[in-house]
Amino acid sequence: MAELESLYGADKLRLAGEQAALLNLPANAIDFARLGGTIKLCNVLTVLPTTDWKEITNHLLDAAPGHAGHLPEGKLQLGLSVYGLNGLNVNVKRLQATGLELKKAIRASGRSVRLIPNKEPELNSAQVVHNHLTGPLGWELVFVRDGQSTILAQTVAVQDIEAYAARDQKRPMRDARVGMLPPKLAQIIVNLAATGTNPHGSAVLDPFCGTGVILQEASLMGFDIYGSDLNPRMAEYTEVNLKWLENVAGHVKSHDTEGKYFRIEVADATVHTWGPAPNFIAAETYLGRPFSVQPPPEVLQEVVRDVDTIHKRFLQNVARQTHAGFRLCIAVPAWHTKNGFKHLPVLDSLEVLGYTRKSFVHVRDEDLLYHRPNQIVARELVVLVRKQE
């Protein structure tokens, strides 16, 4: 939700049930491939004034055969997905029965149809991709309970899981010690930092670039990229990874073409002056020591203090060289303890440092936390805007 709000504006967006958001935009105005936090993009076909599955089925049986008649020649691949099962009086078995009835009705109109079986109420990304449900002969019909109504929508795009896996696992230089930032999370960080949706001529800086995942994703979106890291080995890893991306995908420009630039340097983010000045910062900062088990309180305290000092100096350094309105999204550590999350202390003195923390209309700050069960060091997403002096 935060990602969508950041890119398209709070007023264009609202939650529909717990798993879907309604965006008041045409689907083709959305650059789906750059969204890290959205699994499917659907076009709303109609809103039915009921949540009764029998009535919904009747509507489908009436309307679908006519629509199927407009499809190109060939066998139609049909799939059904329900989000918010509890609110609709349907289960997987009944959903499957509806699919079969629908298949029969479409067949009766002279079309051949194959129904994709549901293992779960929702088809997953792999099922949608492998059965070509977003292609010219595919139909994934999606049902979302929204208050007293049911939204009927059709999937137009789905997350390209194979491309994400390749970007993550096939990079030549990886390093478990600096952590493995999932490309989807990197996209979210860039999207929370970027102002506006047009990447053209805009440069992102990652001052803690590590192996370069954020820069990789930003570059694929079309931003100019600028990275630095204290550790020369990391700067080199970023460079090798981005060269690889350029070679395999032909996306990244490692030299100045079409006004794009690409720059990687070895630098301490607490003191360095970056030039040319970037348009925004997107980074996963220094997370401190990784922990696989709960550390003793005094050890944790020391780590928090050290990491906090680096963040404070970094933010002071950035404030010194940026103007009001400059925006950053940083993923910073938060430590999962028995008593809840321990946040970075510096987050309580952002105003003094010259920043305002951006809050979102549709998401609470405390929910912008990315962590897996049993993980001790979580990542907290913080969006900051440089204040007026």
Contact residues for ligand SAM, defined by CB under 6 A: 178-179, 181, 207-208, 210-214, 229-231, 234, 268-270, 284, 286-287, 310
Q: Which is nearer to ligand SAM, 145 or 171 (CB)?
A: 171
Nearer to ligand SAM, 97 or 277 (CB): 277
Cβ-based nearer residue to ligand SAM, 21 or 230: 230
Q: In the complex with ligand SAM, which residue's Cβ is closer, 18 or 175? A: 175
Closer residue to ligand SAM, CB minimum distance, 157 or 242: 242
CB of 280 to ligand SAM, least distance (A): 16
Least Å from the CB of residue 37 to ligand SAM: 17
Name the residue nearer to ligand SAM (CB basis): 138 or 212: 212
Query: Closest distance between ligand SAM and the C-beta of residue 43, in Å?
Result: 34
CB of 242 to ligand SAM, least distance (A): 11
* Least Å from the CB of residue 183 to ligand SAM: 9
For the chain, what is the HEC assignment? CHHHHHHHCHHHEEEECCCEEEECCCHHHCCHHHCCCCCEEEEEEEEECCCCHHHHHHHHHHHHHHHHCCCCCCCEEEEEEEECHHHCCCCHHHHHHHHHHHHHHHHHCCCCEEECCCCCCCCCHHHHHHCCCCCCCEEEEEEEEECCEEEEEEEEEECCHHHHHHHHHCCCCCCHHHCCCCHHHHHHHHHHHCCCCCCCCCEEEECCCCCCHHHHHHHHHCCEEEEEECCHHHHHHHHHHHHHHHHHHCCCCCCCCCCCCEEEEECCCCCCCCCCCCCEEEEECCCCCCCCCCCCHHHHHHHHHHHHHHHHHHHHHHHHCCCCCCEEEEEEEEEEECCEEECCHHHHHHHHHCEEECCCCCCCHHHCEECCCCCCEEEEEEEEEECCC
- Shortest separation between residue 171's beta carbon and ligand SAM, angstroms: 9
Least Cβ distance, residue 237 to ligand SAM (angstroms): 8
What residue is closest to ligand SAM based on CB? Answer: 210
Nearer to ligand SAM, 107 or 272 (CB): 272
